Amino acid sequence: MEKALSELGQMDELAVMESPIHDLNAAAKLLSTIVYIITVMSFDKYDLSGLLPMVLVPVLMYQIAGIPVHTCFYKLRIVLPLVMAVGLFNPFFDRAIMLKIGTVGISGGVISMITLMLKGVLCLMASFLLVATTPFDSICAALRKMHLPRTLVTLLLLTYRYVGVMTQELAIMTDAYHLRAPGQKGIHVSAWGSFLGQLLLRSMDRAQELYSSMLLRGYHQHFHYAPGKPFRAKDAAFLILSCLCFILLRHINVAELLGSLIVR
Amino acid sequence: MIEFDNVSFEYEKGKPVISGMSFRIEDGEAVGLIGANGAGKSTIMKLLLGLVYCEGHVLIDGTEVSKDSLHHIRQKLGFVLQNSDNQMFMPTVYEDMMFAPLNYMVSREEAEKRVDAVLARLGLEDMKYKYNHKISGGEKRMAAIATILAMEPEAILMDEPTSALDPYNRRLVINTIRELEQTKIITSHDLDMIYDTCERVILISDGKIVADGRAEDILRNKELLEANHMELPLSFCAR
């Protein structure tokens, strides 16, 4: 748990590193990420070859940002299996052979499963890159500039902050449990109900105190986000170029094109 | 000036936590609120800050604490929570210190100046950009005090400001409190700290004022303290 808390804090530290990606305006990065995710999601479930070149975008961005790609996979290790499980049953329902590699037939189900998994992973990688290169307050400020409802953005920001509070409470409770249950792995099923109930109550108490602390310092449903980096010509260039790149990759199957060139 | 005029409060009907309490605290006074657990100290703080409402009148500079006056009242009162983790919720000390001035419509430039001035005054310049999750308990308590000072409040309320601190950090916090020129209301079981920082003490028991007077007189009164589930400050026992 202490590790989880430390990892949460590390996200804030990653976001203030220095790199050409970190230096970009939050709104430009946010819009570019949204366009990237929409583009990735728009690929047909059998269009694996078309989707593959989209991998290059986050890989390249991670390199420029100076964030190792494995950091993303490590930090998202709990979510990744869920994403991977999305198309797990496709091979059972869609058995029509769509492709043959030598004598081995590959069914449509397998292709759609891999495509879905890849789509999920790419979306996660893009979202993680945004959070790892932009302070969360700046993302929220960008969302407000895009006229997203204030309540929704505040909710997002406070959820991000309260995750730490809940993790702290969970850490305290888990330690207290293990100190009185030596040698026991995890928390026994019989204690799950009361454990979760207590966690909820304790988190609510702390959240209430945090909220009181905010109210006592003049908070009135309006966050004053740090001004962040201004939107400059290079941000516009990044936004336009990245979106153009995504659209090109969506409409030109680079993998097929390269394949046909090699075959010729 | 802070005034409690015949204040009564109960969380559950028929179980009063504060009963007909009246006292007055003049500008610049340092007052220690002491009493056993459940005596009503924290409730007094909550009533002052408008976190709960009561029968009777709670007045801050002549303005009654009510829903309509909250914004105005809370600008005058800075509250240092017992658990600094619950106070420091922004990523860095700097952002936390900027939070209140910006909420009170102070310009970003002016707020920055305030933050720098407070950090310099408390000798915490090195902590400005430190992450809240990376600083020690003692540093966090000092930073929590700094966040409140950046509000430039007229009175500072503190709930157990020296709890869970090592002797060095405890002394640091005490010295800092002593140097604050604002009105101070401090609740604590650390009677040595109360003796060091407050000239006046209000002893509370079962929601009523048992004694109100000079710290020297009340904190040296063994019978009075023991009758109210408290003990003489340790420094008096050693002498």
A33 phi and psi angles, rounded to 5 deg: -65, -40
Cβ-based contacts of B95 with chain A (< 8 Å): 137, 226
B65 CB near a chain A CB, below 8 Å? Answer: no
Cβ-based contacts of B98 with chain A (< 8 Å): 224, 226
Residues on A contacting B at a C-beta cutoff of 8 Å: 5-6, 8-9, 12-13, 135, 137, 161, 164, 168, 206, 209-210, 212-220, 222, 224, 226-227
Give me the pLDDT at residue A255, please: 80
Q: Which helix (H) or strand (E) holds A114?
A: helix A108-133
Do A213 and A243 share a domain, yes or no?
no
* Nearest one of B38, B61, B48 to B7, comparing CA atoms: B48
Do A28 and A95 share a domain, yes or no?
yes
A203 located within any domain: yes
Do A82 and A159 share a domain, yes or no?
no
Percent of chain B surpassing pLDDT 70: 99
Highest mean pLDDT among A78-87, A102-111, A201-210, B21-30: B21-30
Do A75 and A179 share a domain, yes or no?
no
Give me the pLDDT at residue B21, please: 95
Q: Is the pLDDT of residue A6 over 90?
A: no
The SS3 assignment for B180 reads coil
The pair of three-digit structure tokens given for residue A237, joined into one six-digit string: 């260039």
Q: What is the average pLDDT value for chain A, to the nearest integer?
A: 89
Do A140 and A129 share a domain, yes or no?
no
Confidence of residue A184 (pLDDT cuts 50, 70, 90): confident
Confidence of residue A93 (pLDDT cuts 50, 70, 90): confident
The pair of three-digit structure tokens given for residue A52, joined into one six-digit string: 């593959």
* Nearest one of A242, A238, A236 to A39, comparing CA atoms: A242
Give me the pLDDT at residue A182, please: 79
Give me the pLDDT at residue B152, please: 94
B71 and A220 in contact by Cβ < 8 A?
yes
A206 and B86 in contact by Cβ < 8 A?
yes
B28 CB near a chain A CB, below 8 Å? Answer: no
Q: Which has the minimum average pLDDT: A37-41, A95-99, B44-48, B82-86?
A: A95-99
A vs B, Cβ pairs < 8 A, gives 65
Give me the pLDDT at residue A87, please: 80
What are residue B92's DSSP bridge partners?
B131
B86 and A216 in contact by Cβ < 8 A?
no
A73 located within any domain: yes
B74 and A218 in contact by Cβ < 8 A?
yes
Q: Is the pLDDT of residue B198 over 60?
A: yes
Q: What's the Cα-to-Cα distance from A133 to each of A55, A67, A130, A139, A164, rounded to whole Å?
A: 18, 9, 5, 10, 19
B53 CB near a chain A CB, below 8 Å? Answer: no
A183 located within any domain: yes
Q: What's the Cα-to-Cα distance from B53 to each of A119, A154, B58, B118, B206, rounded to whole Å?
A: 54, 27, 9, 32, 18
Which of A172, A209, A217 to mutate to test binding with chain B, by most B CBs within 10 Å of its CB? Answer: A217
Please name the member of A209, A217, A224 whose beta carbon is closest to the beta carbon of B151. Answer: A217
CA distance B9 to B231: 27
A40 phi and psi angles, rounded to 5 deg: -60, -45
Confidence of residue B132 (pLDDT cuts 50, 70, 90): confident
Give how far A216 is from chain B: nearest CA, Å. 6
Q: Which has the minimum average pLDDT: A34-48, A142-156, A165-179, B95-109?
A: A165-179
B74 and A9 in contact by Cβ < 8 A?
no
Q: Is the pLDDT of residue A158 over 80?
A: yes
B186 phi and psi angles, rounded to 5 deg: -125, 125
Give how far B154 is from chain A: nearest CA, Å. 13
Do A103 and A185 share a domain, yes or no?
no
B72 CB near a chain A CB, below 8 Å? Answer: no
A227 phi and psi angles, rounded to 5 deg: -60, -25
Q: Return all residues near A215 (Cβ < 8 A) that are at least 6 apart.
A: B51, B74
Give me the pLDDT at residue A264, please: 65
B151 CB near a chain A CB, below 8 Å? Answer: yes
A218 and B103 in contact by Cβ < 8 A?
yes
Confidence of residue A229 (pLDDT cuts 50, 70, 90): confident
ipTM for the assembly: 0.84
A74 located within any domain: yes
Residue pair B74/B50 in contact (Cβ under 8 Å)? The answer is: yes
A1 located within any domain: no
Give me the pLDDT at residue B238, please: 61
Total H helices, total E strands in chain B: 10, 10
A213 and B79 in contact by Cβ < 8 A?
yes
For every residue of A122-133, DSSP letters joined together read: HHHHHHHHHHHH
Give me the pLDDT at residue A44, please: 93
Give me the pLDDT at residue A166, please: 84
Chain B residue with the nearest C-alpha to that of A159 = B89
* Nearest one of A91, A89, A87, A85 to A107, comparing CA atoms: A91
3-state secondary structure string across A213-234: HHHHCCCCCCCCCCCCCCCCHH
A5 located within any domain: no
Do A77 and A155 share a domain, yes or no?
no
Cβ-based contacts of A135 with chain B (< 8 Å): 91
Do A68 and A20 share a domain, yes or no?
yes
Please name the member of A164, A168, A216 whose beta carbon is closest to the beta carbon of B74. Answer: A216
Tell me the per-residue pLDDT of A63-74, one tens digit each, with 9 for 90 and over.
999 999 998 888
Give me the pLDDT at residue A2, please: 67
B75 and A164 in contact by Cβ < 8 A?
no
Please name the member of A9, A212, A217 whose beta carbon is closest to the beta carbon of B99. Answer: A217
Q: Is the pLDDT of residue A221 over 80?
A: no
A161-187 average pLDDT score:
85
Q: Which has the minimum average pLDDT: A213-222, B63-72, B167-176?
A: A213-222
**Domain boundaries, position A63:** 13-134+231-264
Please name the member of B86, B95, B102 whose beta carbon is closest to the beta carbon of A210. Answer: B86
Which of B133, B147, B160 to mutate to test binding with chain A, by most A CBs within 10 Å of its CB? Answer: B133
- pTM reported for the whole predicted model: 0.80
A218 and B89 in contact by Cβ < 8 A?
no
Do A25 and A118 share a domain, yes or no?
yes
A150 located within any domain: yes
Give me the pLDDT at residue A9, please: 76
Do A207 and A83 share a domain, yes or no?
no
A128 phi and psi angles, rounded to 5 deg: -65, -40
3-state secondary structure string across B103-156: HCCCCHHHHHHHHHHHHHHHCCHHHCCCEHHHCCHHHHHHHHHHHHHCCCCCEE
Give me the pLDDT at residue A147, please: 92
B134-163 average pLDDT score:
93
Confidence of residue A257 (pLDDT cuts 50, 70, 90): confident
Domain count along chain A: 2
Q: Which helix (H) or strand (E) holds A6?
A: helix A2-15
Report the residue count for chain B: 239
Do A25 and A128 share a domain, yes or no?
yes
Residue type for position B192 = D
Give how far B58 is from chain A: nearest CA, Å. 17
Give me the pLDDT at residue A85, please: 83
Cβ-based contacts of B75 with chain A (< 8 Å): 218
Cβ-based contacts of A213 with chain B (< 8 Å): 79, 81, 86-87, 89
A91 located within any domain: yes
Q: Return all residues near B236 (Cβ < 8 A) that are at least 6 apart.
A: B219, B220
HSE, CB side, 13 Å, CA atoms: give it for residue A243.
14
Do A67 and A104 share a domain, yes or no?
yes
Tell me the per-residue pLDDT of B66-109, one tens digit each, with 9 for 90 and over.
989 998 899 999 999 998 888 888 888 999 999 999 999 999 99
More confident residue, B9 or A175: B9
Q: What is the average pLDDT value for chain B, to the nearest integer?
A: 93
Confidence of residue A172 (pLDDT cuts 50, 70, 90): confident
